[in-house]
Chain A
Amino acid sequence: MDGPGELDFSLRYPFSSSAKALLESKGTQLSERLVELAMERIKQSLNGTLAKSSALHEEGKFEEITTFAVARMILGHLRNSYLINKFAVEESKRMHAYLNTEPEHVVNKVGAELGVEAQVDGNRFLMDIPVFLSYAPKSVHYRLINREISNGKVAVSKEERKRLMEEAARKRMEKIPLVRDPPDMIKKAGKELLELLPKPKLPSINAKPGDHPPCVDKLLEAVKKHQNLPHTARWFLATYMIAIGMSDEQIIAVYSNLPDYSERITKYQVEHARKKGYSVPSCATVSTYGLCVANCRVGIPINWHTRDVPKEESK
C-alpha cells in the first residue's frame, strides 16, 4: 500500500513541514481569491462543515494548501481565541478523518511530525509517558493511573494513538504567530469574520471569584476563553448549573462559547440531564475525572454554597 505523494500529503496535512516547504519553494502571491477561499475555510470550521479536500488537479490542490496558510494569517491578525480554537478543533478533526484512511507508515509519518512518536508492540503502541501526558485527552479513560504501563511507556491502541495525534495537532494549530499590520485584504477579511461571531453570552453564572467552587471556576474560565472541554467536564458543569437553578437557555448560552458548540446537541443533552435529574457528582468523582483543582473539603462541589467559611488556622 502506497501512501499519498508529496502534494497530497501536504493537502491532507497542511500544518506539516512538507506543506510549509512546498509553499516556500513555490512562492505565491496573495490574491483576493485566496483570501476568499481562506475565509470560506474558516467559516466552514465555524459551522462545523470543514471536510476533506475535493480538489482534483495539482493547481487546485496547491491552492487549497495555500488557503490554510492564508487562514492562519487572518487568524494571526485577529487574535480572537474563539476563532482560533474553533479552527484548531475542526482542522484537527479533519486530520483525524484522513488518518483513518491512511496506511500505517503514513500515520507514523504524521505522528513523527506532531511529536507523537510510538513504538509498535503487536497490534498496539507504546508511547513515552511524557508524550502520552502531553497529548492525552482529558477524560477518565486516558488517566495515567489506570493505564497499562511498561518500562516508562504507556500502551495505547491504534485508535487511541490517532486521538492523541488529533490533540497534538489541535495544540499545534492553536499556536498562531501574531501578524502585525497585514495587507488590507487580510484586514478587511478579519473585520468581516468578527461580525459573524456569536456574541459571547455568560449570563448569571458570570460571577465573582469564590462564588463557585474552584473546580467550577476553572471550567468557567476555560469556557470564557473558548477552550475545548472534555465530555465529563461538560456533564459536571451542566449538573452544577442545573443545581444552582439556571434555566436551560442560560446553560446553553454558556456552552455556546465552546469551540465545537452545536445548539441541537447541547439542547438535547441539557434537557436530558435535567429530565434524568442527575445530581452533581461528588468531589471524589470530580477528582476521578481529573477536574479537582483544590482541596476545599466540601464533599460535593454544590456544598460550596453552604460550607462553613474556613477559619484562619491558628499558628
Chain B
Amino acid sequence: MNDKERQFIIKKFASYYSEASFGIPYIENREFGIGNKKKIDARHLSFFNEDDFKRYLAQNTPLFVSHSIAYYEFPGATPIQKKQRTGADLVFDLDIHAEGKYGAYEKLDEVKADTIRLAKEFIIGDFAVKEEDVKIVFSGNRGYHIHVTDPRFRTLGGDERKEIVDYIKGNGLDYMQFFHEEEIGPRLKRLTGPKPDEDGYRGRLARALVRTLEEKPSLISRKFAKENERELFISGIKEGNWSKTTFRSSELLKRLGKVAESLPVRAVDTDAAVTHDMSKLIRVPNSIHGDTGLIAKIVDDIEKFEPFRDAVIPSSNTMKVQFLEDVPSFKFMDSTTETHKKDEQKELPEPLAVLYTLKGSATFI
C-alpha cells in the first residue's frame, strides 16, 4: 500500500468512525491496542469513555484496533502485573485456515454454522448464559468472535477457561462413561445410557445417534435399515434404555465413535489463545479490519447475516485498480466477483477496490 492509497483508506475509516457506535462494556477498564504495520504495534492504551475513544480514532485512525478481553483496575499501567486484573470476558475465536488470501472465504458458511452451534447449543444451551450476555461479532475477515459477558464466568482462571475450550473442542471426550450395564435378570443385562433430551454431550450423543439412524442407518449397521428394528431401538434410547436391539452392546458402543466425532465445534481456534490467555487483545466490535476494510460487525441475527453484504462500508463510488497478482472469485455484496489476472486493470466498486488493495492484491491507478 503506497502513501496515496493509505491516505485515501484512512480517510474512509475516519469517516466511518465519526458515525460509528461501539457499546464496549466497561470501556474504562479495558486496555487497547492499535496497529498499522501489524495488528498490534502499540498497546497499554486506555480511554475514559466511548467519546474519548472515538476522538482518538478520528485523530489517529489506525488500521487495526483491539481491546483486552480482561478488565483492569489500571488498564494503562505497565508492566501487565500492575494493571490489576479484576476479571475477563469469555471470548471465542472461530475460523478455518485455508490456502491463500481468499481460500477461507469459501468456507465462511461452515464457520458461521459452527458459530451458531457454539452460541446456541453450548453457550446458551449447556452453560445457560442469557442471550443478552452473548455477543456474536464478524471478525472482519475470515471468521467470527463470540464475547460472553456473563459475570459468573468473569473470574475464572486460565486453567478453567482451558477446560471450557477442551469441552467445546471435544478434547478428552470419553463417551463410554455415559453408559453402564445393569443386571436385570439371570444372564440378562440392560445397557443404560443418555437420553436425547439431556443437556451436554450426553444428550448431544443420543440426538446425533437418533439422527444418524433416521438419515443414514448404514453408518451404524445395516440392521437398522429395517424400519421396525430401527424404530424399536430409537424408542428405547428416548427412555435411556439402549438395549432394545439385537445388536451387541460392546460393538454398538465402538461404532458410536463415528457419531461422537461430529459433536464438538472444531472451528474454535485455540492457537490464538484468546479464550484462556487473559492478556490477549481482541478486535474491537464494530471497528474496521485493516486487512479487508470490512467492519468487524456486531451481528444481530446470525442466521441471516452475510458478511460480504452486511459488513461492507457502503459507497456508491467506483475506483480503477491494477491487479498485482491473480485473484479468485468469491461472493461479494449481491453477486460473485470475477477472477482477475495479474496486471489486469479494472473499474470496481470502492469497497472491493479497497479490499484488494489492503490485501496487497491490487493498486489504485
- Seen from chain A, the residues whose Cβ lies within 8 Å of a Cβ on chain B are 128-130, 133-134, 136, 138, 140, 143-153, 287-290, 292, 295
Contact = CB atoms under 8 A, between A and B. Distances in A.
Given A128-B152, A144-B167, A288 B160 contact: no
Nearest to A141: B177
Contacts of A148: 198, 200, 202
Nearest to A146: B177
21 contacts: A129-B152, A130-B152, A130-B155, A130-B156, A130-B160, A133-B160, A133-B163, A133-B164, A134-B156, A138-B159, A145-B167, A145-B171, A145-B173, A146-B174, A146-B178, A148-B202, A149-B126, A149-B199, A149-B202, A151-B199, A287-B172
Given A133-B160, A140-B172, A146 B152 contact: no
Contacts of A152: 126-129
A255 to B, nearest CB: 22
Contacts of B153: 130
Nearest to B173: A145
Interface size class on chain B is 20 to 34
A151 B124 CA distance: 9
B201 A146 contact: yes
Interface string B152-170: 1101110110111011001
A150 B127 contact: no
B270 interface: yes
Interface of B: 126-129, 152-153, 155-157, 159-160, 162-164, 166-167, 170-175, 177-178, 198-202, 270-271
A114 to B, nearest CB: 15
Given A129-B126, A150-B199, 15 more contacts: A129-B152, A130-B160, A133-B156, A136-B163, A143-B174, A144-B163, A144-B164, A144-B166, A145-B167, A145-B173, A145-B174, A149-B199, A152-B127, A152-B129, A288-B172
Q: Which 6 A-B pairs have the closest CB atoms?
A: A152-B128, A149-B200, A133-B160, A288-B172, A146-B177, A130-B152
Point out which of A145, A148, A288, A292 has the most chain B C-beta atoms below 10 A from its C-beta.
A145
Nearest to A148: B202
B310 to A, nearest CB: 30
Nearest to B276: A293
Contacts of A151: 128, 199
Given A133-B160, A290-B163, A145 B170 contact: yes
Contacts of A146: 172-175, 177-178, 201
